[in-house]
Structure 1
Amino acid sequence: MTDPRRQLNHGDGKEALLAATVRVVAAKGMRGMTFRAVADEAGVNNTLIAHHFGTRDRLLAAALEWSMERSIGLANLAEYASDAESFRSALIDNVLAEPALQVFQFEMVLEASRRPDLRPAVRKLYQGYVRELAQGRALLGAPSSEGLDLAMFAALDGLVLQYLGQAITVEQLSEAVDALGAAIAGGAQR
């Protein structure tokens, strides 16, 4: 029988480990995230984790940043904030396409409530999302309002959490995001 571990090109191993970390934490929670579980999910030897990241905490911090960049890139809030339908579509498609990204991020937020050392990474995560939303509002010519940007992101964040926890349906999520998009567009016209 051949070894199931695959040979990866130099840059591929790191990317595979970050994606595997997101999937493992989304499926098993923080307690289920071990080097072995991540390596198995990535199909690589677990020594690759120590080589690229050194520690579990560095792996988690890198995975959080990677997940934020990927999620923002998929949703591209700034690009779609000027059109409610495009905004809704991009956000819904993002959540449906890779829900593990959001589950992982929520797991990290909860873990940061117990571990102060993770709080700077979580703050950076949320600041990245709020900054994207603010850039979208700026494209509309809306006046800058940090409070409103925070409130709108909190609404989006809460809706995604409710959907992932199956408290609301995808239709309810879509309807609520439409309403939020209309509020964003309406606020910009004032």
Structure 2
Amino acid sequence: MTDPGNPDGGRRGRKRVTHYGTGRIALLDAAVRVVARGGLRKLTYRAVAEEAGVTHGLVVHHFGSRDALIEEAVDHALCASLRVSVLDGGTGRAQDFAAGLGEMVESGPDVQAFQYELMLEARRRPELLPSLRALYEEYFAAARRDLSRILSRPVEPALSRLVFAALEGLVLHQLVFGERAVTDEALAQLGALLDGAARGAAETGAPEDAAGS
């Protein structure tokens, strides 16, 4: 897929350096796009320079080694993932759980694709696991807090992981097939299930509350 900021689809040739800018963040954004399209093994100085529209030497100057480039790109992408996460909204309404998931994928597919590429690469490079595991622990904890608010009770880690797995599957499906409507419909069904569970828990708990009063 052609990046909107790269209308020639990645063909070689001189590009305007001012398009993406020459700052470190712009280079890391370019690195994320490179990995999203070609996997972590395609992340090289030259590929990032071409994507960002800068010189090879500038990328070397900023990062010094390919390992440093990979490490900083991973940290950059994972921080971006947390910033745009739709979890931990805090409303306590089932209908609001993971609201905006489809829009998040649609507006930032490269960050999401980078994350999946990183998961696959971590099977071959165990040194990537700590950063990836830390990200997912944040996701699991956020999902657990949201679900606990909705159900008005502490939620087991296994349940929060199960629900998160469903969300992750929707993200992957939308990345591959581009069917935003499927994501939105599935979220509506999930919201209805959570709402039913919350109502059932409240009704079951009502007699106990009355007896104890």
Bucket of the pairwise TM-score, normalised by the shorter protein: 0.7 to 0.9
> Which 10-residue stretch deviates more, 18-27 or 58-67?
58-67
TM-score where L is the length of structure 2? 0.73
Q: For structure 2, which runs of at least 5 residues remain unmatched after alignment?
A: 1-13, 202-213
**CA 1:68–1:85 in 2, change beyond 3 Å: closer, same or farther?**
farther
RMSD across aligned positions (CA): 2.8
* Worse-matched range after superposition: 40-49 or 157-166: 40-49
Question: Following the alignment from structure 2 to structure 1, what is the Cα–Cα distance between the partners of residues 88 and 188?
Answer: 16
Q: Which residue of 2 aligns with 1:177?
A: 187
Q: Distance in 1 between matches of 2:171 and 2:74?
A: 17
1:130 and 2:140 correspond: yes
Task: Report the alpha carbon displacement of residue 101 of structure 1 after superposing the two structures with TM.
Answer: 0.9
Deviation at residue 59 of structure 1 after TM alignment? 2.6
Distance across 1 between alignment mates of 2:93 and 2:113: 27
Name the structure 1 match of 2:35: 25
Are residues 162 and 39 of structure 1, via their aligned partners in 2, closer, same or farther at CA, if it must alter by over 3 Å?
Answer: same
Of the structure 1 ranges 104-113 and 140-149, higher mean CA displacement relative to structure 2 is found in 140-149
Letter of the 2:105 counterpart: V
**Structure-1-length-normalised TM-score:** 0.81
Please list the CA deviations of residues 75-125 of structure 1 after superposition, one character each: whole Å capped at 9, or x if unmatched: 331016633444454111101101111111101101111221212122122
The corresponding residue for 1:95 is 105
- Count, aligned residues: 186
Change (3 A) 1:3 1:30: closer
- Structure 1 segments unaligned to the other structure (5+ residues): none
Identity across matched positions, percent? 38
**Aligned equivalent of 2:53, options 39, 43, 56:** 43
> 1:5 — aligned with what?
17
State the distance in 2 between where 1:41 and 1:108 align. 19
Alpha-carbon contact 2:87-2:97 (below 8 Å) kept = yes
- The 8 Å contact of residues 77 and 115 in structure 2, kept in 1 or not, is answered as yes
Secondary structure of 1:165 counterpart: helix
Q: Find the partner of 1:165 among 138, 152, 176.
A: 176
Letter matched to residue 168 of structure 2: D
Whether the 8 Å CA contact 1:130–1:149 is kept in 2: the answer is yes
**Deviation for aligned residue 1:150:** 1.2
Give the structure with the higher percent helix: 1
Checking the alignment, whether the CA contact within 8 Å between 1:61 and 1:121 is kept in structure 2 is no
Equivalent residues of 2:90, 2:149 under 8 A apart: no
Deviation at 1:169, TM superposition (A): 2.3
- For each residue in 1:33-87, what CA deviation from the matched residue of structure 2 results, as whole angstroms up to 9, or x when unmatched? 2111112222333344444443333333332332233233223310166334444
Look up the match of 2:118. 108
Q: 5 Å matches for 1:143-158?
A: 143-158=154-169
- In the alignment, does 2:77 pair up with 1:73? no
**Change over 3 Å in CA distance of 1:102–1:43 after alignment to 2:** same
Cα distance change on mapping 1:100 and 1:173 into 2, 3 Å? same
Choose from 117, 123, 129 the match for 2:127.
117
